[in-house]
Amino acid sequence: MAKASEMNNGGQSGNGEPYFCKECKRNHTKGKIYKDHLKFAWFEIDKKEIEEESESNEKELESEVEEIFESLEEEEDYIIELNEMEEELELELDSDSGSDSNEVIINDANVSVEAVKKLPGVGEATLKKLIKAGFSSLESIAYTPPRIIQNESGLGDKTTAKLIKASMSQLKIGFKSAEDVWEYRKNITRITTGSQELDDLFGGGIETGCVVEFFGEFRTGKTQIAHQLCVNVQLPEEDGGLNGNALYIDTEGTFRPERIIQMSEGLDLDHKKILKNIIFGRAYNSDHQILLVKEATNLIKEKNIKLLIVDSLIGHFRSEYVGRGTLAVRQQTINTHLHDLLRLTDIFPELCIIVTNQVQSKPDVFYGNPTVAAGGNIVAHGSTIRVYLRKGKGEQRVAKMIDAPHLPEGEAVFSITENGITD
């Protein structure tokens, strides 16, 4: 018994003095040997298992992180390919949902679309997104800011930058000599207004590749000139036309097919054919007006549009942005809208854009004409050519050249008759 007691007490006297247990590495006292031993022995075992498990988890986590970084360091072309696969899957799901109105028909015969399709990184899904957003040619991609392409097409910034760079490279956009510019300017086509004097004021007719602004009071002939140009643009080139169609964006509800019929009959033209070749869009607010101009990109190529008219430019903006607090936002929105129009003339050099503008009175003018064009300096800088219209005697109207980069100031008198614009 004494020997057993000594063994149990680790060789101690058994008088309640503590002894050191080598197994659980703790001191035990008599009466608590097994209880303490089991408690500390289990604790050590659990602690050791937890430490071993945490070490293995850390190693697994480190290996997973290394794998993630290795995958992120793969080539960019592989990432682009994965994105295109996802885009194609999204488009397939959209088509399966029955949204036929969102489908885009890609015409492989179209040279411009084929050129875009050959750009690096452009697959079927990317091509469809570009066409839906109105970027169906190299020019439209090269001349548009990257932010606009990203917002309207949903493409990434790296993909957009690569597309723009490639488009500029193929179009050879850069410096050229003034002689080359002069050779281009000599071949610019023009639209006759129907009045010889008014044509002479523009140097032979209203030229393509620019934005022309007509502004004046009510009943000065702004809308009448717009209607007449819709008819004249369809004439053959030898008769002062462009053999093209017209796109008319009406913001004030003043477009009248009856007036088109009168002007067509005045030129012995088939009014049914003339009306058919005029694409009409009614803008019900400023946002809708901006949207119609953006959507015009695809229509211009598809419908052979050579004339785009916005009548009038600022009407909706004046009614929707009221008060000085909204002035800055209004002017910036108009500025963006005007640059959308100017960009169309860069993309389509054979396109002529006509905008009509309202006027306002300056209360601080006591002598002279207090009438100025609405829109301030933003519209003044955005228009390429500006012409002020005012009333004359009877049917007569007076057009004054206010600003043009290549034309002197001057005036022309024309008449508005039942058959249209004449001298």
CB neighbour class for 167 (10 Å; exposed up to 12, middle 13-18, buried from 19): buried
Dihedral sign (CA 407, 411, 412, 415): positive
Helix (H) or strand (E) holding 306: strand 305-311
Average pLDDT, the chain: 82
Specify the pairing of strand 278-282 against strand 385-391: unpaired
Question: What are the percentages of helix, strand and coil residues in the chain, rounded to 5?
Answer: 50, 15, 35
Q: Tens digits of per-residue pLDDT, 153-200?
A: 888 888 888 888 888 988 888 888 999 999 988 889 999 999 999 999
What is the C-alpha separation between 396 and 377, in angstroms, rounded? 29
DSSP for residue 93? H
Q: Tens digits of per-residue pLDDT, 224-239?
A: 999 999 999 999 999 9
Is residue 273 over pLDDT 70? yes
What is the C-alpha separation between 222 and 224, in angstroms, rounded? 5
Q: Which residue has the tokens 């058959």?
A: 419
Q: Tens digits of per-residue pLDDT, 56-72?
A: 666 666 666 566 655 55
Is residue 309 over pLDDT 90? yes
Residue 332: per-residue pLDDT: 94
What is the C-alpha separation between 342 and 243, in angstroms, rounded? 22
In contact, 127 and 106? CB cutoff 8 Å: yes
- Which two three-digit tokens encode residue 225? 């000139």
Is residue 73 over pLDDT 90? no
Distances (CA, A) of 101 to 88, 97, 129, 280, 290: 17, 11, 14, 20, 21
Dihedral sign (CA 31, 37, 40, 42): negative
DSSP for residue 324? G
First to last CA, the chain: 140
What's domain 188-422's architecture? 3-Layer(aba) Sandwich (3.40)
In contact, 315 and 253? CB cutoff 8 Å: no
Distances (CA, A) of 315 to 35, 251, 360: 93, 7, 12
Is residue 412 over pLDDT 50? yes
What is the C-alpha separation between 11 and 6, in angstroms, rounded? 5
Where do the CATH 3.40.50.300 domains begin and end in the chain? 188-422
Q: Residue 328 contacts by C-beta under 8 Å, 6 or more apart in sequence?
A: none
Longest CA–CA separation in the chain, Å: 141
Is residue 285 over pLDDT 70? yes
Listed in sequence order, the DSSP H helices in 254-375 are 257-266, 271-276, 286-302, 315-320, 327-347
Residue 195: per-residue pLDDT: 95
Indicate the CATH number of 76-171 among 3.40.50.2020, 1.10.150.20, 3.90.1150.10, 3.30.70.20: 1.10.150.20
Residue 10: per-residue pLDDT: 44
Q: Which residue has the tokens 């009014």?
A: 271
With helix as H, strand as E and coil as C, how does 212-281 read?
A: EEEEECCCCCHHHHHHHHHHHCCCCHHHCCCCCEEEEEECCCCCCHHHHHHHHHHCCCCHHHHHHCEEEE
Residue 290: per-residue pLDDT: 94
Q: For 64-78, 109-123, 241-255, 377-391, which range has the lowest pLDDT when averaged over its residues?
A: 64-78
- Residue-wise DSSP of 124-160: HHHHHHHHHTT--SHHHHHSS-HHHHHHHH---HHHH
What is the C-alpha separation between 386 and 213, in angstroms, rounded? 5
Where do the CATH 1.10.150.20 domains begin and end in the chain? 76-171
